[in-house]
Amino acid sequence: MKSAHPLADEHFRDELSNVDKEGKRLWIFPKKPKGRFYNYRTWLSWFFMAMMFVGPFLKFKGHPLLLLNVLERKFIILGMVFWPQDLNLFALLMLSFVLFIVLFTVLFGRVWCGWACPQTIFLEMLFRKVEYLIDGDYQQQKRLMDQEWNTEKIFKRAFKHIIFFLLSFLIANTFLGYIIGIEELKLLVVDGPMDHLGKFASLLIFTSVFYMVFAHLRELVCVFICPYGRLQGLMLDKNSMVVAYDHVRGEPRGKLKKGEEEAPRGSCIDCKLCVSVCPTGIDIRNGTQLECINCTACIDACDEVMEKIEQPKGLVRFASVNNIIEGKKIGLNFRNGAYGVVLAALFGVFLYLLITRKLVETTMLRTPGMLYQTQENGKISNLYSIEFVNKTFDKLPIQLKLIEPKGEIKFIDGKDIVVDKESVGESSFFLLLDGASITKISTPVTIEVWSNGALIEEMKSKFNGPVYSKEKEELKEKEKGEKHED
Ligand code: SF4
Ligand code: SF4
């Protein structure tokens, strides 16, 4: 397939910056970035990291602000409890989120990856910074990699990896805090691992995974593993804003020669600084590539060069292909508009479902396989089972009111129902109707569920019983009387 980039030599698409021809990993040593965008990203990352580490401790009305307990299938988001019964809401939220990402990517490329993805934030703003502190900038890192194992290398490697492991352990604790809740995590710390072997094992597994990702896999996650990254080609078009090299202005590129008054024909002096700072090791001058995470490090690097050679900044900048070639501004097109409409509709349905979501869900069923029973007093009974899902943080006393037909509700265990907070309660009851009131084989039944003086739900069901016949009844009475006389 032909590249959209008029200068692109297609060979770069057959090679990977981090794998050699034999398929062996090539370690990437990105130059320490600096500049305007890097500063913005640093501040934003500190903010996100602070939010993430503090998150498990935050509470709303005494409950976690965010809890994603997949094991117990209990989720608390912004203080609201969600249960497996809310799967429809969750599916819709996920669908809206995926569509939002698609729409956002169509408009702004992979900005999420470079600026907000936890993988990039931890790797570039935590682990990489530690690495620069211990090993130095990219040239010193390369030198250290190539040198023999001596005291300096052993010390630096050991020190760095111990810190990496501790950081991974910290992230794993936070991650576990979002899954099991901070109280459970505190118990693990206070009681010790032997009393909570399962949780401790999970903590070690998470720590190992994070350590592997941030110390070893690194950019491979963004380039090969992350499905979002792999889908870039489908989502971007010529109007998408991405980190792009202005080849119209930059080419033909050429090195600045000593004593040369004029800049080369194009603005690019082929210093390759934009390549040196790239954490995925690509050359942005080849055009938009799947490996680009829009981290903007190359913009900062090139701006610095442009400043030095007294050229306007922005040779590498946020721009669309059409913006560079035709000078077009980003605008609304049919695809963006259609995504926007679908997204708004989905979000509207999601909000409606969220607002109308029931905090107590009731399921009532006539016990299957059971016929009606005739009681000694002539009443007819049907057995029902009823289940309550209490999604609130309070204990709920439940009362049932029979609305129609006239009759009586009698619980099997004779007790009132009280459903514990955030749990499921079950009970069974007989519905007793006067035999004379049954005019159909299947009589519609309406029962209201009340709690603390508030109507929770109206339940509909059927009552099965023998159809009352005055003649039959009189005949029975007569037969009884005759037997008595005998
Ligand atoms: S940093 Fe700018 S000038 Fe240097 S090679 Fe990259 S695009 Fe060209
Ligand atoms: S090409 Fe630029 S924006 Fe893309 S990943 Fe490399 S440095 Fe970041």
Beta bridge partners of 75: 68, 82
- Each of the 486 residues of the chain gets a pLDDT tens digit; together they read 344 455 556 666 677 778 888 888 899 999 999 999 999 999 999 999 999 999 999 988 788 888 888 887 778 888 778 877 788 877 887 888 888 888 788 878 888 899 999 999 999 999 999 999 999 999 999 999 999 999 999 999 999 999 999 999 999 999 999 999 999 999 999 999 998 999 999 999 999 999 999 999 999 999 889 988 888 777 888 888 899 999 999 998 988 776 655 555 789 999 999 999 999 999 999 988 888 999 999 999 999 999 999 999 999 999 988 889 887 766 667 777 887 788 788 888 888 888 888 888 899 998 877 788 888 888 899 999 999 988 888 899 999 999 988 999 999 877 778 999 888 888 999 999 988 888 888 899 999 999 988 898 899 999 988 887 766 666 766 776 666 666
Mutate to test the pocket of ligand 1, among 305, 307, 311 (most ligand atoms within 8 A of CB): 305
- d(Cα 163, Cα 168) in Å, to the nearest integer? 8
CA angle 62-67-69, nearest 5°? 130
* 443 Cβ below 6 A of ligand 2: no
**Ligand 1 center to residue 173 CA distance, Å?**
42
- d(Cα 426, Cα 409) in Å, to the nearest integer? 15
Q: Whose CA is nearest to atom 3 of ligand 1?
A: 268
* 316 Cβ below 6 A of ligand 1: yes
* 274 Cβ below 6 A of ligand 1: yes
Domains of the chain: 1-60+109-326 (no CATH), 360-472 (2.60.40.10)
Cβ distance 36 to 44 under 8 Å? no
* 277 Cβ below 6 A of ligand 2: yes
Q: Give the ligand whose atoms come closest to the C-alpha of residue 295.
A: 2
Cβ distance 203 to 188 under 8 Å? yes
Helix 151-180 and helix 182-191, axial crossing angle in degrees, nearest 10: 130
Q: Give the ligand whose atoms come closest to the C-alpha of residue 28.
A: 2
